[in-house]
A and B are shown apart, each in its own frame.
Chain A
Amino acid sequence: MPKRTDLRTILLIGSGPIVIGQACEFDYSGTQACKALKEEGYRVVLVNSNPATIMTDPEFADRTYVEPLTVEVLERIIAAERPDALLPTIGGQTGLNLSLDLAEAGVLEKYGVELIGAKVDAIKRAEDRDQFKAVIRSIGLDLPRSGIAHTMDDALRVKEEIGLPVILRPSRTLGGTGGSFAATDEEFETNVRWGLEASPISEILIEESIAGWKEFELEVMRDVNDNVVIVCSIENLDPMGAHTGDSITVAPAQTLTDKEYQVMRDASVAIIRAIGVDTGGSNIQFAVDPRTGRQTVIEMNPRVSRSSALASKATGFPIAKIAAKLAVGYTLDELRNDITRETPACFEPTIDYVVTKIPRFTFEKFPQASDVLGPQMKSVGEAMAIGRTMKESLQKAMRSLEIGSHGFEPRAAASTEELEGRIRVPNADRLWHLGEAFRRGMTVEHVAALSAIDPWFLRHIEEIIAEERALDGVPLAAISPERLRGLKQMGFSDVRLGVLLGTTETAVREKRAASGIAPVYKTVDTCGAEFEAFTPYLYSTYEPGGDEGLPTDRKKIVILGGGPNRIGQGIEFDYCCVHSVLALREDGFETIMVNCNPETVSTDYDTSDKLFFEPLTFEDALALIRRENPLGVIVQFGGQTPLRLAVALEKAGVPIIGTSPDSIDRAEDRERFEQVLTALDLKRPPNGVARSADEAVRVAESIGYPVLVRPSYVLGGRSMEIVYDRDSLARYMRNAVRASPEHPVLIDQFLEDAIEVDVDAVSDGTDVVIGGIMEHIERAGVHSGDSACSLPPYSIDAEVQGDIRRQTVALARELQVVGLMNVQFAVKDRVVYVLEVNPRASRTVPFVSKAIGVPLAKIAARCMVGTTLQAQGFTQEIVPTHINVKEAVFPFIKFPGVDTVLGPEMKSTGEVMGIDTSFGAAFAKAQIAAGTVLPTEGCVFISVPQAAYAAVVPIARRLAAVGFRLSATHGTAGHLRGEGLTVEAVNKVKQGSPHVVDMLKRGDVALVINTPSGLESFRDSFPIRRTALEGRVPYFTTIAAAAAAAAGIELMRQGPFTVLPLQEHYVRTRRS
């Protein structure tokens, strides 16, 4: 069937900010969908609040709304754009839920918008637990025994029927939020209560525990002619119990016979038909009892998902792109397989390699959180690797994680008991503990019994460790070339072999070179080499020959990507990489992308001319760079990951283009940077370097407390802290870092109450153009990645801004920046201090680019290959006429007991952008987009230190004027009353009940303004923050943010916000 011609405009809803459970895979799928629909000539209207996405680049849709994802906002957009159809299945759970809400609110009907891909009924059948189970039963398939509860009484009744242990899953939440396991009555009651709260509709599913069963996923596609194909099967190494997003997964399924697999395939086909997903992709999960083979259906996602992104990357079958085309009426047999060109998309990919995905956790960011894994997802990203064998694939995935692992490093679990404990319970580090178990001589049977991991997987780990042990005491010289190849075929990295053979990575590499052992590259071709492949999507392996995707003689640029998402390094860097690829591709270079993150747009085989799906280690990068012999290698777009490789690559003779690694070092090395600032006569807060704990105390005392301490060379403010006194400093030096001559600790004076400013600029080595000046809204000391900010600044005057511009340009010139540069300043008493310079792409580049309508990363990439700013026509800073506010989004709700207070250590997973004509409106939009529902009535609770009394008065007055009731702690209340305001005084928690937390729990507080200062007041206010978080009550910790919120609330009371697409904002900015 050809495409539908009755549709003209199609609305796409993105997934919003990156959060745990919903990461950049939806930018990948959304971008594919935008491209696919535009290619077919449809007018695409896109809504997404996340500026760090490729999909929100103005050229990917006809109308791009960076606006909050709420029903109200979407209705306004629908009213303005009058789309014919809405494709609800590409924006993750957020997009799907919103589409349902729009349908239920009658908006779709009112404006005549058709849901394409999946209709409301089908979505409900898949999403509603009761309906889903009824459907599954009606087609004769097996399910775990279960019941639904809306109250504690319901829950207890269900428990009677199915017994413990059970799994509790709240309905309609992201990434299994609130999901838990209960084996005892106490656990049951606690977790039921929690689950009912977490569900927006107060509904939980209580389910027979099938923990320990084998877990599988099938990615299914269906077209309007009812053709159904299975794109990929995935088997979880971690059995049922850990969320699939937190599990190590392998494609294809490994431990099913064909008979069993076909039963699962038949079930999947029957399910997608019975649920009634008209067209597109779905993900269906199964559990299999390893003792009996009983197969039960777990769940279905009637949309593209994290797993479908993984499946797309694992097979070369672009699920989201095909899903978009199927939604407008094409059938699978009418679409072509891009990779083979000759054959249709109506087929099931066969793969001749093994794909391993390992989740990336960031528990180091949340020391109070437990790293035990359960039904609620906790990972923030993932790395994928491709190898010809399970072992090669697994070890490549391990070194792709960017956690300093190069293979099965030993784990120092003290006792066997402790080790067994780490194996029994799924946790972030279990894989290495499995290795440790075999190193200590445990058997596969024993480890399998402890972990419930299939022995098939364990044997591979056992064999890797056996091979490691066989190398014990063997010198490198004694390793024959044949054996060395064998080791490389098992996936051992040069670094790991160096450790095992008592030598260095370099020695191993040289030995390999001397023995002629280099990787060859094989193609991901969807067909097991049955047909010729035309798309160079490659992975390395150590087969003795059969090299594919051979280098061309074109001018080539290699772009090293950012690796797995984690806090501090997210989608922003992939955005920059993709932009550099797009720009250089346009300019006629052959672009070669290297990355190992399956969620990204950069690892779409369509993005670059050639894609290497490889770990971003020195070994893997160097091998492919030597083979390709590019004109240049770009390291400054992928964040810290490629940057870390820059010096070593340059030493190995690799042409790094853009700002030189030496310049980067001048900015990052404390002492060299000091010289730069002295030469330019710029100020920075007094500071020093400590190589021991004693030295740290000496430095801190000479500077004066409070001080900001951190290890050198970190991204995302890891282990960064503000220290107020000597004891805290001593504790920090003892626990957080081990200072040494090689790894000094940096100590800066902390400028209290300063305003922080971020500046992004681009330079061609001669000219420098400011991209944007962003004024932070949070107090200084909050990591810039966590701080809300405004572009243009909302309070800094023109003169200070001029000073900031001048200093930025001076720094860029002095550091001979070619490409992007980010500078962080602090402004205190109108004096500008330089905090930090990063001569590379920063995480604010996408935000700035969206705000000013200029793709900074593209411009920077062109500078790096020698096109001047003049030649590119970008010579003037663009100051937008609209106000752009960026707000960070945090994962605290996923980590019970963790404080929500912000500091120098970055904790946010993502960001949103609010755009409007006034600061208050833009700020309010950013808050709403970040999930903070600003109230328009109710009671405000205020607690501020004495120093802030005066500042909080106007805010209280504004809120009271629009009808809010005021409450405050006794001190604050007294002051406000003195100003003539009516205030209810409330106890602090330590003053006893009834206190503020009681009030919050009762739901009597609509808004909290609490600006603690000093350690004690932070500690005291922790329960307020946590309770507010769990009750979804907005909580502002700075006067600036509170003032902005008050302004936003005033505007909200005047009526709904207006919406405007980026394209229109840019026209207005250009006109002004």
Chain B
Amino acid sequence: MAGKDAILALADGTVFRGRAFGAVGEASGELVFNTSMTGYQEILTDPSYEGQLVAMTYPEIGNTGVNREDVESRRPFVRGFIVREYRDMPSSWRAEQSLGAYLAEHGIPGIEGIDTRALVRHLRDNGSQEAVLSSVDLDPERLVRKAKDAPSMVGQDLVTKVTAAEPYGWDQGPWKPGGYLMAEEIAAALGRPTLKVVAYDYGIKYNILRNLVGVGCAVRVVPASTPAADVLKLNPDGVFLSNGPGDPDAVVGARENVAALLGKVPVFGICLGHQILGLALGGSTYKLKFGHHGGNQPVQDLTTGKVEITSQNHGFAVDMDSLKDKADVTHLNLNDRTVEGLSVRGQPTFSVQYHPEASPGPHDARYLFRRFVDLMERDKGN
């Protein structure tokens, strides 16, 4: 079992020695952790992780291998993968490939056999930072230097690296055992006309599209740089702002485009989309010490008082003080009382910081997609 040696070096000089799996190589980026016990394939393929190395807190990873269904985008975006124990032989009726083979195929290095708990505690106490994972260069000092030299997330426009090159349509609905529902059967079951939604792809997760289809939307995905005018020309019932990687402030043109849409069409934003909405309203964002990365964060919907267990993955947050008189807080994180959702005053527009599409994570917040549909229908009626 003993694989080749690998090293994870942090910018602050901390070094972890383990064994390599996945691709032989080197990767650098911001080091974050994720506390979801399931769903590593969804995490790997979440474009929000562009530019990041991800450490899983659950120690046994690779158990169910990789399959073609559980992807969140066209390819994995995580730069490097860090686990306590990698399992090379998957056991699942849906597994088609081992995790290691999949990572190798996509040129992503992994490291196993390190104390991921000690790593998480280190990040918790010292904040997330840049790191280098390597199975080709085993000189810790040199790796630490490389980590120090790696560019910070702040100010980086990573969206251009992950957004779709061309617009595309989408007709896959939510997953159920046996496969995905398709738009046609959903529409037939709902028995009402579909709503036209244009989704800005800042790094969109497929499960957002699946959920939109699931509530009866006909979805068209457009690249992040698409001008607002082009979007409006498509005559949508609503516009969706997707999740995505990195610093919201650095996404070129996004805030202007969204500002141009506000008031003209209902808008729903998730994660980076939520932050961009905040910026478009004239607000500001800030970086959290180590962000929220997991599938068990309690969020309270202030409109109903109910608590939902949510999937989260963000390092930045909207500064609500900067949005006084423009937006109201609708959702609160019960762990650290940070803002998790807002609605724009006087407009059929809202957004959440977390991931109601889950994948991975609990489905508690799926109702938000229906809430978006309700807004669009009401708006259409007016």
Contact = CB atoms under 8 A, between A and B. Distances in A.
Interface of A: 225-227, 229-230, 252-263, 265-266, 290-295, 331-333, 342-344, 346-354, 388-390, 444, 454-456, 459, 463, 522, 527-532, 543-546, 548
Given A350-B35, A352-B117, A258 B361 contact: yes
Contact of B309 (A253, A347, A389, A463): A347
B257 interface: no
24 contacts: A256-B64, A257-B41, A258-B39, A258-B70, A263-B176, A265-B363, A295-B177, A333-B307, A344-B298, A348-B295, A348-B296, A350-B35, A350-B57, A350-B294, A350-B296, A354-B60, A388-B117, A389-B60, A389-B84, A390-B85, A454-B91, A455-B89, A532-B124, A546-B115
Given A333-B307, A350-B36, A530-B35, A258 B360 contact: yes
B167 interface: no
A352 B306 CA distance: 28
A256 B360 CA distance: 12
B92 A257 contact: yes
Contacts of A290: 93
A348 B67 CA distance: 26
B359 A258 contact: yes
A294 B177 contact: yes
Contact of A463 (B1, B116, B305): B1
A293 B363 contact: no
A258 B58 contact: no
B121 interface: yes
Nearest to A457: B91
Given A259-B175, A333-B298, A344-B335, A528 B57 contact: yes
Contacts of A343: 298, 334-335
Contacts of A295: 177
B177 A530 contact: no
Contacts of A455: 89, 91
Given A255-B64, A352-B35, 7 more contacts: A227-B307, A262-B363, A343-B298, A346-B334, A348-B362, A528-B120, A528-B294
B94 interface: yes
A295 B69 CA distance: 18
Contact of A522 (B64, B117, B362): B117
A229 B309 contact: yes
Given A257-B92, A258-B36, A342-B335, A347 B60 contact: no
Nearest to A295: B177
B205 interface: no
B87 interface: yes
Contacts, number: 171
Contact of B307 (A294, A332, A342, A388): A332
Given A227-B307, A333-B334, A544 B35 contact: no
Contacts of B307: 225, 227, 331-333, 346
Contacts of B305: 225
Interface residues of B, number: 57
A530 B294 contact: yes
Interface string B43-74: 00000000000000111100110010110000
A857 to B, nearest CB: 36
B82 to A, nearest CB: 13
A344 B118 contact: no
A333 B309 CA distance: 11
B121 A546 contact: yes
Interface in B157-176: 175-176
A103 B213 CA distance: 48
A253 B36 CA distance: 12
A528 B35 contact: yes
A251 to B, nearest CB: 10
B365 interface: no
Given A229-B309, A344-B334, A252 B1 contact: no
Contacts of B57: 350, 352, 528-530
Contacts of B121: 529, 546, 548
A354 to B, nearest CB: 6
Contact of B38 (A256, A266, A388): A256
Given A350-B35, A527-B35, A257 B94 contact: yes
B128 interface: no
B358 interface: yes
A256 B70 CA distance: 12
Contacts of A225: 305-307
Given A333-B334, A389-B60, A454-B91, A350 B295 contact: yes
Given A227-B306, A344-B298, A530-B294, A352 B116 contact: yes
A529 B58 CA distance: 11
Contacts of B358: 262
A254 B60 contact: yes
Contacts of A252: 37, 58
A346 B333 CA distance: 11
A330 B33 CA distance: 33
Interface string B264-301: 00000000000000000000000000000011111010
B298 A346 contact: yes
B21 to A, nearest CB: 15
Contacts of A388: 59, 84-85, 115, 117
B201 interface: no
Contacts of B70: 257-259
Contacts of A529: 57, 117, 120-121, 124
Contacts of A333: 298, 300, 307, 334
Contacts of B361: 258, 262
A545 B116 CA distance: 11
Contact of B39 (A227, A257, A349, A532): A257
Contacts of A259: 69-70, 175, 359
Contacts of B124: 529-532
Contact of A545 (B35, B38, B115): B115
Contact of A261 (B1, B38, B87): B38
Nearest to A344: B334
B42 to A, nearest CB: 6
A294 B176 CA distance: 11
Interface string B9-41: 000000000000000000000000101111101
Given A225-B305, A546-B115, A258 B298 contact: no
Contacts of B37: 252, 350-351
A50 B89 CA distance: 49
Nearest to A1: B305
A57 to B, nearest CB: 35
Interface in B197-256: none
- 9 nearest interchain CB pairs? A546-B118, A258-B39, A528-B57, A258-B360, A456-B91, A258-B38, A543-B115, A528-B35, A348-B296
Nearest to B41: A257
Given A351-B37, A351-B58, A389-B59, A226 B306 contact: yes
Contacts of B336: 342
A1013 B132 CA distance: 80
A347 B306 contact: no
A342 B334 CA distance: 9
A349 B296 contact: yes
Given A346-B298, A346-B334, A347-B309, A266 B363 contact: yes
Interface in B326-348: 334-336
Residue picked from B93, B120, B178, B294, most chain A C-beta under 10 Å: B93
A163 B118 CA distance: 54
A294 B307 CA distance: 30
Contacts of B362: 230, 262, 265, 348
A258 B42 contact: yes
A546 B121 CA distance: 9
B367 to A, nearest CB: 13
A344 B337 CA distance: 11
Interface in B60-119: 60, 63-64, 67, 69-70, 84-85, 87, 89-94, 115-118
A532 B290 CA distance: 13
B97 to A, nearest CB: 13
